[in-house]
Amino acid sequence: MEGTVYIAVILPLKLEWDPCYLLPDGMEVRVGSRLRVEFAHKEYVGVVSGMDVTPQTSVEKIRPVLSVEEGLPSISPDEIRFWRAVADYYLCSVGEVYKAACPALRLDREEAGIRMRERLENQLEKLRDKAGKARKDETREKYLKAAEAVQAKLDGKTAEATVSVTGITLSPAQEKASEGIRKAFEAGKTALLHGVTGSGKTEIYLRFAQEMLRKGRSVLYLVPEIALSRQLEERIAAVFPDVLVFHSGETAARRTEVSDRVRQGGPYLVLGTRSALFLPHRGLGLIIVDEEHDTSYKQDAPAPRYNARETAIMLGVIQGAHVLLGSATPSLESLYNAETGRFVKVDLKERFHSGEEADIQIIDTVAERRKRGMTGHLSRKLLAEITATTEAGGQVLVLRARRSYAPSVQCTECGRIPRCPHCHVPLSLHLHPDRLVCHYCGHTEPYSGHCPACNGELQPLGAGTQMIEEELCSLLPDRRIARLDSDTPAAEQAGIIRDFGKGEIDILVGTQVITKGFDFERLSLVAVIQADSLVGQQDFRADERAFQLLEQFRGRCGRRGTPGKIIIQTREPAHPVYARLEGEDAGNLLAERKLFGYPPYTRLVHIQLKDSHEKRLDFLARELRTALLAAFVDVDSPPAVVGPYTPVVDRIAGESIRQIRVTFARNKALTALKRRLSDAVNSFGKERKYTAHLSIDVDPA
């Protein structure tokens, strides 16, 4: 029909196509406009992805657009390009990426605006107060400039990021590394900064950020954990007073404020976790991925199941931005990319304060127990070191990779181990209040200390961070001891980190979060309790990850020229990971990966099936394997299909789990074969009405 306009719309759903809608007469939209439409008898807010499209179905079936969402910002073409790139690589739908980038739950924008104004007014008052109290002209000027930027926001102007006039002083080694990074950028390559712990990578990041902002381009600075973001925020704010912070720990109003500020354009600097990649970026010039090896950058669920490192590179291409990856222990994937020329590796081998690497002491807990050298889960040797360190004014970090009081409990009479009724895992014991908790689905039961089956006494098995904290408090009552893990209330985490940095806490017990990127001046001893849980994982990446974590943790101490020490308590002191940590040749991990056909020399895709009916699950998992083999029957070198198999944790939230692993060779056919895999899985799901039970994970962690 002449004059009739059809448009394509992205919906926040798992769809393989962009549905077509009729644009009513007089309604004006463009690509990126947000509008309300009906799909399968439900209303959704979608994004216009195409104008004047040709319908692929009968026009009688095409529904009209209901309304344009005037209150919601439009989406830029670059954002849509980015969503499609992520969807193509991670074999999900663009609708799933849209749903992740623009969550359905939004604050009323008027309410958010009121909160934002109140926040800005408070911030302005504080900055002016600090400027009035400043003793140095330089400091006063910094606060006044920051106040001007806040006032501009209140006046409705687009405020540019304020850059401190204070220069960032780099050592000769840092300057040399910076020059290597510039050459990588000039060659159009991703730079991989391999700097030993304490070498001053952060100063290099800030120097490049400063240069980019002065050019009028924006910067995205990614960190793996919220806790690390909170410590870095104060450090970065000294150079960039208007740093924008974006992660799930911020309020919804604050996240809305940051998103609106980013949408206005640059220059700006955003400090955030992986979700900050999906902000409506404009004019990015630099993306920094700190601790690029960290597994927290990988999203496991829901789709898109992306890795922030690879996704940052996609965003960099679309935005025309340089990408700088940094780590003291680069991932094997990044080292492989450096070997093959995709990345340029830049080494920084000198510590900023010229300190030596921390000494390593391995304590064999089996041998110590034989000679009664253990007190609870702590060796007397470790306790002596902790006492000496704290008496000398130093601080101690104690790592236990399990939160809770105990990972499980067992009846001393009948041997029963309480398990989650919805997952095939033992329940963990938590105290204050006393309860048994499933760390997978969140199921909670009251804890009486007695077996519900025979009333026998329940005995804790193993130790979590709560028990280690309790033992230390009992053995060292005059020391100031605290704990930091995911059970620590979010409102208290920043305060604990701040207090430890000020020296107001002597000993801090925590999970892996305490190993990542922190810089504490008085820290001179770090200790690992039950290190076997790190090296005993059933995963081909176990040794790599254990080494990375231990090396990162080792680097937290002795960063100001004072000697540091790492003490590792283990039942297996001869493990090759410890030998590698001590600098011995424990085998080339990349060579081992190549020998056994593991990534990065191949590409893995996991297909996961979940179902509350186990027999149906097993039958359809076998049927899916058959369908996958058939999909590659005409391929000269088909991918290897393994499974279905039962993972270590085989049931979560009442659903049993099976997995199929598909291994692809890294060659020119990889992209086409991945798409063929996706098509086969989606077709199987549709034919068997099983789509909701299937998920695809590209490059699983």
> Is residue 144 classed as helix, strand or coil in its secondary structure?
helix
Q: What is the pLDDT of residues 570-592, one digit of tens each?
A: 999 999 899 888 876 555 888 88
Determine the Cα–Cα distance for residues 218 and 225; give it in Å rounded to an integer. 22
Residue with tokens 């017990």: 509
Question: What's the full length of the chain, in residues?
Answer: 701
184-216 confidence digits (pLDDT tens): 999 999 999 999 887 889 999 999 999 999 999
Top-confidence residue, 542 or 606: 606
- The tens digit of pLDDT for each residue in 658-694 reads 999 999 999 999 999 999 999 999 999 999 999 999 9
Q: Is the dihedral of CA 479, 485, 487, 488 positive or negative?
A: positive
Q: Which pLDDT tens digit goes with each residue over 301-349?
A: 899 999 999 999 999 999 999 999 999 999 999 999 999 999 999 999 8
Indicate the pLDDT class of residue 105, thresholds 50, 70 and 90.
very low
Reported as a single tens digit per residue, the pLDDT across 111-138 is: 455 556 677 777 788 888 888 887 777 7
331: which 2 tokens?
Answer: 């991932």
Residue ranges and CATH numbers for the domains of the chain are: 5-101 (3.40.1440.60), 160-348 (3.40.50.300), 359-405+463-589 (3.40.50.300), 601-698 (3.30.70.360)
**Rounded Cα distance, 599 and 333, in Å:** 7
CA atoms of 284 and 316, how far apart (whole Å): 8
DSSP 161: P
Q: What are the Cα distances from residue 545, in Å, to 176, 407, 503? A: 29, 21, 30
Tell me the pLDDT tens digit for each residue of 460-508: 998 999 999 999 999 999 999 999 998 888 778 888 988 998 899 999 9
Could you tell me where the DSSP H helices lie in 52-136? Answer: 77-89, 94-101, 109-133
pLDDT at 639 over 60: yes
pLDDT in tens, 261-317: 999 887 999 999 999 999 999 999 999 999 999 999 999 989 999 999 999 999 999
- β 565-570/523-528 pair status: parallel
Angle formed at CA 668 by CA 663 and CA 671, multiple of 5 degrees: 60
Classify strands 481-484 and 507-510 as parallel, antiparallel or unpaired. parallel
Strand order in the sheet with 435-437: 428-430, 435-437, 444-446
In angstroms, how far is CA 647 from the centroid of its own chain?
Answer: 23
3-state secondary structure of 634: coil
For the segment 15-59, what is each residue's pLDDT rounded down to a tens digit?
999 999 999 988 999 999 999 999 999 999 999 999 999 988 888
Tokens standing for residue 78:
């670059």
Q: How does residue 110 score in pLDDT terms, banded at 50, 70 and 90?
A: very low
Instruction: State what percent of residues in the chain have pLDDT above 90.
Output: 66
Report the alpha-carbon distance of residue 37 to residue 246 in Å, rounded: 30
Q: DSSP letter at 239?
A: T
3-state secondary structure of 612: coil
pLDDT at 96 over 90: yes
On average, the pLDDT of the chain sits at 89
The pTM for the full model equals: 0.86
Which tokens is 264 given?
Answer: 């206005």
